[in-house]
Structure 1
Amino acid sequence: MEHVEYQTVHSGKTPVEWAIRKGQFKEGLSAGVEVVEIQSGDFSFHVFPTRGMGVWQAKLGEKRIGWDSPVRNPVHPAFVNAKSRNGLGWLDGFNELMCRCGLSFNGPPGQDEKMASSIESDLTLHGKVANIPAHSVKFIADENGEIGVSGIVDETTLFGPQLQLTSRITMKLGEKSFTIRDQITNLGSASTELEILYHTNFGSPILEEGAKLTIPASQVVPNSPRSAEDVQEYRTYLAPTQGYTEQVYFMEPLADANGNSVALLESRSGDYGVSLEFKKEQLPCFSQWKCTQALQDGYVTGFEPGTNFPNFKSFERAQGRVIDLQPGATYDVELTLAVHPNSKEVTSVRDRIAKIQGDSTPEICPQPVSPYSSIR
C-alpha cells in the first residue's frame, strides 16, 4: 500500500510474532482513509474503518487474497457520489476483498415507492454502509490469543432508518483466517427494514481458468437470460476474457448440523483455495458473481451471502426476504474467511462440503424463475 505511514499499537511474539498497526493514506482520493493491519505470523488482513469497516485485502506470505479493481486505491467516502452514473456511483469506490451492501437496502438503483419513508425512495446501488466512516474504533488483543479491531457505523437519518452496525473483526494467533461478527441494531422507535449482503471478492492468483466454486446447495438459478447461457458451467471459471459480460447465480445453500454453510473457491490444480463460512439462518441467500473480464477491467468473482438476493428491493420485499427489524432489536451475523494453502487443506474443505450435500444434487434451473429472479 502506497503513501501509508504505520504506527504499531500492539505487538508480541507468543505463540507467533504478531502486531496490530494503524495508518492513514495521504494522497489523492485516498487521503484520510484510515487502515488497520492485523498480522499474525505470515498471515495478515487490512480493515478500513473509514469505509464502513470493510476488509481491503488479506495476505498469506507473498500471496494476496483480493482482486485488482480498476479503482486502484481506496477511495474516501467524501469522493463517492452514490447518485452519480445513474445511481451506480457506489462503483467509484469499490475495490475491497469484502464490503457490506446495505443496511436499509442493496441491489440495483431505482425508485421504490413502497419504502416506509418517502425520503428513502430513491435507491442507489448497494446502499450506504460501505461509504460511512466508523467511530469508536478499538483495537483488540486479549488473553485468549484473539487480535483484531472493532468499530461502530451509524446509518441514521431524520424521518428515516436508524440502523447501527457494531462490527468486530478478529483472528486467532497462528491461524490463517479471520471472523467478522456484526450486530445491526434498530435505534428507532418504529420497525425498519434491513437488507445486508457481504460482497466478498476474489481475483488472481486463485481465480484463474479452471478455478472452481464448490458450495452445498439445493437450488441454482440464473438471475438473467445472460446468466442462463452458461448455467450448467456455473461452478467453473474462464481465463480473463475481453468483452465478457457478468453472470450471476442465486443459490439456496445447505447447512451442517450446526447450521453452518461454506463456499470454497479453489485453483485449477486444487492446491490453493479460500473459503467463506456463514450461518444459513443469518444469511440464507447466496449469490455467485462471475466477472471474468480482462485483467485491466477487473477480473473477479464474488461470493455474496446475504439476507436477500441482490434484486431490486421491492421484488425482494414481495418475496418476504426484507427483514422487518423491530425497535431496539439486533440482528447478528457471523462469517469466517479462511485461506487453504495446500491440496490437503483444500481437499478437507471439499470433503466437508460433500458431507453437507449428502446424496442430493442441486437442482439447476435453466432459466430465471420466481421467486428468485425478477429478470426474464
Structure 2
Amino acid sequence: MAEIVALRKWDRREPQIAWDSESPLSMDVETRMGNVKTRHGRFVGGASDNVEVVEIDTGVMRVIVLPTRGMSIWKIEAEGIRFGWDSPVNGPVHPSQVPLFDPSGLGWLEGFDELVVRCGLESNGAPEFDESGKLKYPLHGRIGNLAADSLSIEYDEASGRLELIGEVIESRLFFKRLRMRTRLRVHAGSYRVDLLDDVTNELSTPATMQLLYHINVGSPILKPGAVLEAACEELAPKDALSASELDAWNQFDKPESGYQERVYFANLVSDDSSETTAMLRTAERNRGMAVTFNVSQLPNFILWKNTGAKSDGYVVGMEPATNFPNTRSFEAEQGRVVKIEPSETASFRLSLEVLTDEAAVEKVSSRIKGLAAIHAPQIHDDPKAGWSM
C-alpha cells in the first residue's frame, strides 16, 4: 500500500501579518463622529519579513501604512474596493532587500508596490552618474526605503480626528541631515486621508531638497475608458514617445503587453488658496481617486502612464512634486530645488480622497471644471525646453 504523505504549504505570495493587540499603537477610539480603530504589527516571512505596519480603520475605509518604508501607504480599502495596484514586485519589501545603490541606479524598482510612496529627499528623479560613470543619485532617492525612528498616535474625541505621526531621518555625516516629520490624518466616517509633511534641515549649513509623491492606481479604478481629470495651465510630453500619444494623454486603454511608459509634465490651475485637484476616475464615473495639493509647495504635476500587461504592472501614477523627475543636477540648474536654511522647515500638504459612488466623483469633477474655467490650457506638442532634458 502506497504511503500517504501530508504536505502543508504556506504561500508566501500572500503576505502574513502578526498583529500585536497589546501594542500602544493598537486602539479603538470612541469619538462623537464614530469609532476609529488602529492595529499595529509586523509582516512575517519572505522579503516582507519584519516590515512594520499600522492599519487605520475610519469605519468606512482601511488605510494600511508602512512605517518601515518611509511611512508609505501600501493600500486603501473602502466599500469592497481596493485602491492600489498589482506590482510584479511581491511586497511590501523590507528596505534591507532593496539594492538602492545598484550600479544601474534602478535598484529602487525592486521594492516598488505602494499606493503612495514619497520620492526624495536629497533627490527624487532619474538616476544620475558622475563623469566616471559612478552613481551619484539613485532613482527616486532614499526616503521611501528608510524606517521611521518614532511612531505615535494623537486623537481628538470631539472632532473624530486621528493622526499617525512618524519621523524619518535621511542623513550622511558631513553632507546632510534632513528630518521628515509626517502626520497621516483621518477622521471617523471619512474617506479622506491628509498627509502633512514637515522637512527640517538639522545641519548648521544650508541644504536643498526635492520631494515627489508617487500615487499609483491600478485596477479596478484603472480600466479601459478611465480618465484623468485635471485643470492644466500648461502641459508637455516628457519625450518623443509620450508626444506620439498626446491626443489621448489623459485617457487609458486596456492592458497592452510591451507598452512603454508615457510621461507628461504639467502645471495645474489652482484656487485662491493655491490648491488644486486631480482625479483618476472610471469610464462609468462611479469610482475614482482624487488628490488635492498646494501648488505653492508642490508646483509641478507628473502623469505616469504605464498601461502594460497586468502581469507587468498595469498602473497610472499621479505625482505632485517640487520639480520634474529629471536628474538632480538638471533640476537644480532650472531652479527646481527647495532651499532650506539651518534649522528651517519646509512644509508640504496633500490630501487623498477615495471615491466610491457617482455623487462623490461628480463633486470632484465639478471642482476641477471650475478650476479649468479660470485658465485656458497651453498644450505643447513636443517636449518643452527646461522641462525635459
For the superposition of Structure 1 and Structure 2, which TM-score range results when normalised by the shorter chain?
A: over 0.9
Q: How does 1:89-100 map to 2 (within 5 A)?
A: 89-100=107-118
Residue 5 of structure 1 is aligned with which of 8, 15, 18? 18
Deviation at 1:289, TM superposition (A): 0.2
Alpha-carbon contact 1:231-1:364 (below 8 Å) kept: no
Equivalent residue, structure 1, for 2:379: 364
CA deviation vs aligned residue, 1:56-105 (integer Å, no higher than 9, x gap): 00010211100000112211111111122611000000000000000010
Deviation at 1:140, TM superposition (A): 2.5
Residue 332 of structure 1 is aligned with which of 344, 347, 351? 347
CA deviation vs aligned residue, 1:173-222 (integer Å, no higher than 9, x gap): 11001100000000001111100000000000000111001111111100
| Equivalent position SS for 1:244 | coil
Q: Does 1:274 align with 2:289?
A: yes
| Equivalent position SS for 2:76 | strand
| Equivalent position SS for 1:166 | strand
Q: How far apart, in 2, do the equivalents of 1:359 and 1:151 lie?
A: 38
Equivalent residue, structure 2, for 1:318: 333
Shifted more, 188-197 versus 360-369: the winner is 360-369
The verdict on how the C-alpha distance between 1:259 and 1:112 changes in structure 2, with shifts beyond 3 A counting, is farther
Alpha-carbon contact 1:136-1:151 (below 8 Å) kept: yes
Residue 289 of structure 1 is aligned with which of 304, 313, 319? 304
Q: How far apart, in 2, do the equivalents of 1:148 and 1:292 lie?
A: 34
TM-score where L is the length of structure 1 = 0.95
**Which sections of structure 2, spanning at least 5 residues, go unmatched?**
1-13
Q: Does 1:22 align with 2:40?
A: yes
**Corresponding letter in the other structure for 1:5:** A
Equivalent residue, structure 1, for 2:148: 134
CA deviation vs aligned residue, 1:108-162 (integer Å, no higher than 9, x gap): 112257xxxxxx9711000000000001111232223112311100001111111
Q: How far apart, in 2, do the equivalents of 1:342 and 1:40 lie?
A: 18
Residue 64 of structure 2 is aligned with which of 43, 46, 56? 46
CA deviation vs aligned residue, 1:290-332 (integer Å, no higher than 9, x gap): 0000001110000000000101111111111111211111010
| Equivalent position SS for 2:20 | strand
Q: How far apart, in 1, do the equivalents of 2:18 and 2:34 lie?
A: 24
Q: Does 1:264 align with 2:279?
A: yes
| Equivalent position SS for 1:205 | coil
Q: How far apart, in 2, do the equivalents of 1:121 and 1:86 lie?
A: 8
Alpha-carbon contact 2:41-2:52 (below 8 Å) kept: yes
Alpha-carbon contact 1:20-1:148 (below 8 Å) kept: no
Alpha-carbon contact 1:184-1:330 (below 8 Å) kept: yes
Q: How far apart, in 2, do the equivalents of 1:218 and 1:252 lie?
A: 6
Deviation at 1:359, TM superposition (A): 5.2
Alpha-carbon contact 1:10-1:141 (below 8 Å) kept: no
Q: Does 1:148 align with 2:163?
A: yes
Equivalent residue, structure 1, for 2:82: 64
Equivalent residue, structure 1, for 2:187: 172
**Corresponding letter in the other structure for 1:262:** T
Q: CA RMSD in A?
A: 1.4
Residue 342 of structure 1 is aligned with which of 352, 357, 360? 357
**Which sections of structure 1, spanning at least 5 residues, go unmatched?**
114-119
Alpha-carbon contact 2:128-2:328 (below 8 Å) kept: no
Q: How far apart, in 1, do the equivalents of 2:86 and 2:255 lie?
A: 12
Alpha-carbon contact 1:112-1:314 (below 8 Å) kept: no
Deviation at 1:41, TM superposition (A): 1.2
Equivalent residue, structure 1, for 2:139: 125
Shifted more, 318-327 versus 88-97: the winner is 318-327
The percent of aligned pairs where both chains have the same amino acid is 38
| Equivalent position SS for 1:91 | helix
Alpha-carbon contact 2:84-2:216 (below 8 Å) kept: yes
Equivalent residue, structure 2, for 1:230: 245
Q: How far apart, in 1, do the equivalents of 2:15 and 2:100 lie?
A: 26
Equivalent residue, structure 1, for 2:370: 355
Alpha-carbon contact 1:218-1:254 (below 8 Å) kept: yes
Shifted more, 252-261 versus 137-146: the winner is 137-146
| Equivalent position SS for 1:373 | coil
Equivalent residue, structure 2, for 1:116: none
The verdict on how the C-alpha distance between 1:98 and 1:112 changes in structure 2, with shifts beyond 3 A counting, is farther
Q: Does 1:220 align with 2:226?
A: no
Q: How far apart, in 2, do the equivalents of 1:317 and 1:249 lie?
A: 20
Deviation at 1:258, TM superposition (A): 1.3
Aligned residues: 368
Q: How far apart, in 1, do the equivalents of 2:254 and 2:18 lie?
A: 36
Q: How far apart, in 1, do the equivalents of 2:206 and 2:29 lie?
A: 45
